Structure 1
Amino acid sequence: MLRLGNPVRRLRAAMLVMAIVLSLFAGRLVQLQGLDSKVLQAKAVQQRVQPEILPARRGAITDAEGHELAVTVEAREVYVDPKDVDPAKRELVATTLARELNKPKQDIDAALAKVTQRYIPLARDVEPLRAKRIMGFKLRGVGTKETYRRLYPGKSLAGGLLGFTGVDGRGLEGLESAYNDVLAGRDGKQSIELGANRQRIPMTRSQREAPVPGRDVRLTIDRDLQWAAEQTLARRVNDTGARSGSVIVMDVLTGRILAMANAPQADLNDWQSAPAEDRANRAVSEIFEPGSTNKVITAAAAMEAGVVTPDTVFRVPDHIQCADRQLKDAHPHAPESMTFTGVLAESSNVGTIMAAEKISSQRLYDMFRSFGFGASSGSRVPGEQDGLLPRWETWSGSQRCTIAYGQGISVTALQMASVYQTIANGGVRVTPTIVAGTTDAHGAFVPAPAAKGTRVISETTARSIALMLEAAVGHEGTGEEASIEGYRVAGKTGTAMRYDEKCAGYCGYTATFVGFAPADQPRLMALAVIQDPKKDHYGGAVAAPVFKDVMTFALKNRKIPPTGTKAPAMVLRPAG
């Protein structure tokens, strides 16, 4: 007979199993709601809470009158959430975004394929109207976020000086980099709770720390003068087949830089497309041998020592022996009597060497240092180089002679401009400045401290050299092409052999003209330097016309009238 099981025993066994299962559920429930509740709650919040950076608006860079040279405007960042994109419409999404963002479709496809990621930026700096158009297609998984982009209204205007920012908004070169802490401000942040569909959960908590906008930087640059200088320089570089060029205009009395131009120069709105050398500020970063523009320092040293005057007469041959080298004037000539004024006006190398022989090497070296050679100008212009000024103890026999007329030392365009500002300012060197001031946290303008002035040479010596430089622009001087009708102009040409690392020696020339006006009451100084011109190479022919055009514009721009006086007659050669 078949014996049936005990139902009571089976019931007890079933009840025991159910008790065990329920105790497991209860234990897990206690663990979840009791022991691990805070941990799990934190994880849940972490999954829901979306942290977000609120970018600060970058401050503007303006010219002296407040015209914007670099400005920040609203933009949008376009992103995708690949997990939220409908697989059936992935091709449509990729094609649409590639077209609207002007990006390769394969890049969009690659982003959409990362379905485990919830946020992939596709494009920054998108114009708000274009972003609105994209959102109008109602593509699921595609979104936009408010941001900013840097814009340069003048494109290449003052490009080498301003510099540019990277994709993260930080300054990379130029003033954008040097004043990044002032311009950048401080980003804010916020956190909000999002649901499974990436939409904000209503009535949930949020935290927000507002961004602090950057402060503005106001320059001493005059926008219109900067534009005129760049246009004039670019034409001359192109016409002469030159490699590059720079122009500087300064206020004689204050040392403020009114224009700092370079050519060629990059469009800052597309700086990635330009070669590195066209993004640099050559006016302070490129060093060169100054040539005859340097002769004013030799003249100042000799006159301050009391060994020569403008009327001192020299019997000048066309060549002179210096140690193991025979050095020559630019053009052959029979020995002739010339005043020291004539030596400077006609840019005689030999005559300058003869004057330099009357003073010690140390005195000449000390005068170079006093004018600022071999050291930064103190302008705080980004990228400025110190130049090269060998210690006088290391000068060779011939180097002592060549340094006197500007070969064997190297300077920047700004250093040489500072020399002539000093002479024009009665012998007082004022530290060049490029930043007029900044705004404070409330938007009020805070001017920069006034530049420091240092006497380098006596007023008498400075005025004498100014008159000698007027003769250099006269019809017997080398700088006649720099004369401006109705104005008294003082200045000096420079033509120097150009050292080039690519040819490991001297290849080509550097043509320079630097001067100031009105010569009897100096207000403005300007310098033009042209590197490696192929059509002619003398400073008087290549660079002087640039000075003339830029200075003529500057005088009108600053509303500086002629003084109405006439230059005194200067003796270049003694009678008889």
Structure 2
Amino acid sequence: MKNNLPLSVRRLVFVLIVLQVGFLLLVGKLFNVQIANNTEHQEITERTWHSPRTATIKRGKILDRHGNILALSRHSLSVYADPKYMKTDPIKAAERLSPVLGVAESELITQLRRKDKRFVWLKKDLDYELLDEIRSIERDIRGIKHRVEQKRTYPKGPLAAQVIGHINDENMGEGIEYHYNNYLLSAKERKAAQRAADARNEPIKLLTHGKSIDDYGYSVVLTLDEYIQDVAEKELAAACKQWNAPRGTVIVMASQTAEILALASYPTYNLNAYTDSSEEAKRNFGVWFAYEPGSIFKIVPSSAVLNERVMTPESTVFCENGRYRLSNGRVIRDVSAKGILTLEQVIQKSSNIGMIKVVKQLGHENLATYIEMYGFGKPTGVDLPYEHSGRLDAAKDWDTHSLGSVPFGQGIMVTPLQMVNALNVIANGGTLLHPHITREIRDSNGTVIKKIYPIKVRQVLHPQVAKQMTDILVGVVEGGSGRRARVEGYRVAGKTGTAQKAEPDGKGYAGKEIMSFMGFLPAENPMVSIIVMLDEPTGARFSGQIAGPLFQKVAAQTMQYLKQTEFFGPQQQKSPEFAPVATEETSTQRLTAEGGGL
């Protein structure tokens, strides 16, 4: 036993020595790995920031029809610190950082002294040009780091703000940014969105157009014209301020293609200050706002009674000398006493009683059919989110109250876009077109991967009836309630509309009104169809006094611009076939086309 004990001790000591040596070797290896990895990481970081790929703008642009940039992404810098890891005195670090970051030294010192934190923001959204200075600071002060992030900028500020819209970090928002988000995302981001949707077991429309696999998103080219949009916004804002109207909209549409050239809303906001703007200012009233249209709706029963050959423009009705009692006891009054009027005069003098008599001859079933044929009661399908479908309760559930409201645009709800698109039926020879605000989608090389063509929905009126209605509406402007909407050098076909606003609970009317004017020109060969609408204006009694001049200003400047730029070609759109038109049934076959830029 005495000889074995020392041997056991020696063996134990030997094992311990081996374990210690092994442990030291392991520590040394881990240290080397850490240093090597850190060095490699730094080298990769150096190469990354010098790489041209850092200049890649991932989210696609939004452009007007001429290629003017309305939205694009730029890189910005965000600087942060790891206070617990820092060895430099916070005061000295703040002295170095303050002039570069534009942050007070005292504020930086407070952040850098938070030694219990491993991450604190020092400054976000810095100019990318500061990258070299920030990297120099990072080399000298351990624990200072930066990130390169995308910043969405809008060079035109408030221009077309409600159309362009916004997208948040959860891919929710409004406008084109939201509606076409899956196009604007880069290829990698689209794949990530697909994976996220798969994880949630939700469907997502993953786009596969084109063969591009780079990090650029596709660019969306709108039908909007920057100049016409600017005219519409400025004139709308001036009119709203002049007549104390809290809200309003102007829509300018290319008559023969239903391309939206301008879609203005008031109030508006600067896209670069989204978070500081009111929610009301972000609403696109042209597609979101549903209202009782008033007398501009009279184009529907008037054209229907002509199309059904129940009446002619010369057919007469008795307007009861301005006072008409319905069977339920309700009394309908015209603004002034009128006796026997032709259908043409009923429209030009905007007689509510006369229109009731017209609808009685047409029949409410026929009226309901034509209302739906004109596209009311459902979204137009314009490529913008949150479009209101309107409501047709009074037209569908017909009674005596309906007779005393629907014929002159009360008791139903429509949107301004639905209304101008209905007017465009008359301007376009009786054909209802599908309105759209996107012209094409391009990849990062400028190649067109998707092109939007005009789409014919249905034939609503016979062409000769559309011509008859055009002549009647010209009379409204030249000798009726729309005289203040006349545009020098052009014949305008249009209609005024003053609509009462219902109480919020839907019971009765509060005395507030919505005033509109819509028209197209030149009447004999329409280029543009325009609607202007002001909500709750004050200071004048009739829409011809308020909305008429606004229409005139927008239309006059638009026509002058179209003429000077030969917008529709040197022939001034003499041929109605200046662009291909697809039928609704075959539209999906005509959405993609190959081609170059604008």
Provide closer, same or farther for how the CA distance between residues 278 and 537 of structure 1 changes in structure 2, counting only shifts above 3 A: farther
Amino acid of the residue matched to residue 264 of structure 1? P
Show the counterpart of 1:68.
69
* Counterpart-to-counterpart distance in 2, 1:299 and 1:440: 47
1:529 offset after TM fit, Å?
0.3
CA shift, 1:309, in A, is: 1.0
144-153 vs 366-375, which moves further: 144-153
Task: Output the CA distance in 2 between the equivalents of 1:273 and 1:467.
Answer: 48
Superposition pairs of residues 216-227 of structure 1, within 5 angstroms: 216-227=219-230
- 1:373 is aligned, of 376, 384, 388, to 376
Counterpart contact for 2:57–2:73, Cα < 8 Å: no
Structure 2 counterpart of 1:536, which letter?
A
Return the alpha-carbon distance in structure 2 between the equivalents of residues 427 and 230 of structure 1: 30
Would you say 1:442 and 2:437 are equivalent positions?
no
- Equivalent in the alignment of 2:10: 15
Listed one character per residue, the Cα deviations across residues 108-161 of structure 1 (whole Å, up to 9, x for unaligned) are 8357626452x5554443212355555666654323333321111111100001
What code does the residue aligned with 1:525 have? Answer: S
1:211-231 superposed Cα distances (whole Å, 9 cap, x missing partner): 511110000000000001100
| 1:482-534 per-position Cα deviation (integer Å, ceiling 9, x unaligned) | 00112101100000012353897634110000000011111111000001112
Q: Which has the higher helix share?
A: 2
**Counterpart residue number, 1:129:** 129
Q: Displacement of 1:259 after TM fit? A: 0.5
CA shift at 1:100, angstroms? 3.2
Match for residue 199 of structure 2? none
Whichever residue aligns with residue 448 of structure 2, its letter is F
Q: Which runs of 5+ in 2 are unaligned?
A: 49-53, 190-212, 573-598
Shift of residue 540 of structure 1? 0.8
Query: Could you tell me which residue of structure 2 aligns to residue 150 of structure 1?
Result: 152
Q: Which moved more, 1:398-407 or 1:531-540?
A: 531-540
Change beyond 3 A, Cα 1:459–1:315: same
Residue in structure 2 matched with residue 572 of structure 1 by the alignment? none
CA distance in 1, matches of 2:500, 2:98: 56
Pairs within 5 Å for 1:410-489? 410-440=413-443, 442-453=445-456, 454-475=458-479, 477-489=480-492
User: Which amino acid is the alignment partner of residue 158 of structure 2?
Assistant: S
Give 1:201-280 correspondences, 5 Å limit: 212-280=215-283
Name the residue aligned to 2:206: none
Structure 2 CA distance, aligned partners of 1:552 and 1:133? 53
Cα drift, residue 72 of structure 1: 1.6
Partner SS for 2:89: helix
Q: 2:90 aligns to what?
A: 89
Structure 1 position 163, deviation (Å): 0.3
- In 2, are the aligned partners of 1:161 and 1:382 still within 8 Å (CA)? no
Look up the equivalent residue of 2:74 and give its one-letter code.
V
Distance change in 2, residues 1:46/1:130 (3 Å): closer
SS of 2:405's equivalent?
helix
Shift of 1:354: 0.5
Which amino acid in the other structure matches residue 338 of structure 1?
L
When the two chains are superposed, the root-mean-square deviation of aligned CA atoms in Å is 3.5
8 Å contact kept, 2:94–2:105: no
Q: Closer, same or farther in 2 for the Cα pair 1:49/1:71, shift >3 Å?
A: same
Q: Which moved more, 1:389-398 or 1:538-547?
A: 389-398
| Rg comparison, structure with higher value | 1
Query: Matches of 1:66 and 1:240 in 2, distance apart?
Result: 35
Q: 1:46 to 1:371 in 2, by over 3 A?
A: farther
CA offsets 1:169-204 (integer angstroms, 9 cap, x no match) = 95622100111111111348xxxxxxxxxxxxxxxx
Change (3 A) 1:98 1:523: same
Q: Pick one of 355, 360, 363 that aligns with 2:358.
A: 355
Deviation at 1:324, TM superposition (A): 2.0
Instruction: Give distance in 2, aligned partners of 1:400 and 1:47.
Output: 83
d(CA) in 2 for partners of 1:122 and 1:504? 56
Residue equivalent to 1:557 = 561
Deviates more, 1:324-333 or 1:88-97: 88-97
Inter-CA distance 158–358: structure 2 relative to 1 (3 Å threshold)? same
Distance 1:105 1:322 in 2: 78
Report the Cα distance in structure 1 between the residues aligned to 2:83 and 2:505, rounded to whole angstroms: 51
8 Å CA contact 2:394, 2:412 repeated in 1: no
The residue identity in structure 2 corresponding to 1:79 is Y
Task: Report the more deviating stretch, 421-430 or 101-110.
Answer: 101-110
Question: 1:352-403, CA deviations, whole angstroms, 9 ceiling, x for partnerless residues?
Answer: 0010001221110110100010001021222211011127452221113311
Q: 1:29 to 1:85 in 2, by over 3 A?
A: closer
Residues 129 and 44 (structure 1 numbering): CA distance in 2 closer, same or farther, change over 3 Å? closer
DSSP-derived class of the 1:358 partner: helix
Structure-2 change in CA distance of 1:135 and 1:27 (3 Å): closer
- Counting only pairs closer than 5 Å after superposition, residues 331-346 of structure 1 correspond to structure 2 as 331-333=335-337, 335-346=338-349
What is the rounded CA distance, in whole Å, between the counterparts of 1:515 and 1:338 in structure 2? 23
Structure 2 CA distance for partners of 1:366 and 1:315, relative to 1, 3 Å:
same
Separation (CA, whole Å) in 2 of partners of 1:460 and 1:104: 77
CA distance 1:502–1:358, change in 2 (3 Å): closer
CA distance in 1, matches of 2:393, 2:507: 20
Equivalent position amino acid for 2:125 in 1: D
Write out per-residue CA displacement over residues 398-454 of structure 1, whole angstroms, 9 at most, x where no aligned residue.
Answer: 113311100000011100010111111110111101000010353212452312212
Alignment partners' CA distance in 1, 2:355 and 2:224: 36
Secondary structure of 2:362's counterpart equals: coil
Q: Which moved further from structure 2: 444-453 or 553-562?
A: 553-562
In 1: Cα distance, 2:284 partner to 2:125 partner: 26
Distance 1:183 1:307, change over 3 A: same
What is the distance in 1 between the residues matched to 2:273 and 2:422? 36
Corresponding residue of 1:548: 552
User: What residue in structure 2 maps to residue 202 of structure 1?
Assistant: none
**8 Å Cα contact 1:266/1:279 also seen in 2:** yes
Question: Does the aligned pair in 1 maintain the 2:217–2:443 contact within 8 Å?
Answer: no
Bigger shift: residues 442-451 or 280-289: 442-451
What CA distance in whole angstroms lies between the structure 2 residues aligned with 1:48 and 1:487? 73
The amino acid of 1:457's aligned partner reads: L
- State the shift of 1:272 in Å: 0.7
1:308 maps to what in 2?
311
2:521 corresponding residue in structure 1: 517
**Paired residues of 1:512 and 1:543 also in contact (CA < 8 A):** yes
8 Å CA contact 1:90, 1:112 repeated in 2: no
Which 10-residue stretch deviates more, 481-490 or 532-541?
A: 532-541
Q: What one-letter code is carried by the residue in structure 2 that aligns with 1:545? A: P
Residues 275-306 of structure 1: per-residue CA shift (max 9 Å, x gap): 11101111100111000000000101211221
Closer, same or farther: CA 265–504 of 1 in aligned 2, 3 Å: farther
Conserved 8 A contact 2:165-2:176: yes
CA positional deviation for 1:232: 0.3
Q: CA, structure 1 residues 297+94, in 2 after alignment: closer, same or farther (shift >3 Å)?
A: farther
Structure 2 contact 334–351 (Cα < 8 Å) conserved: yes
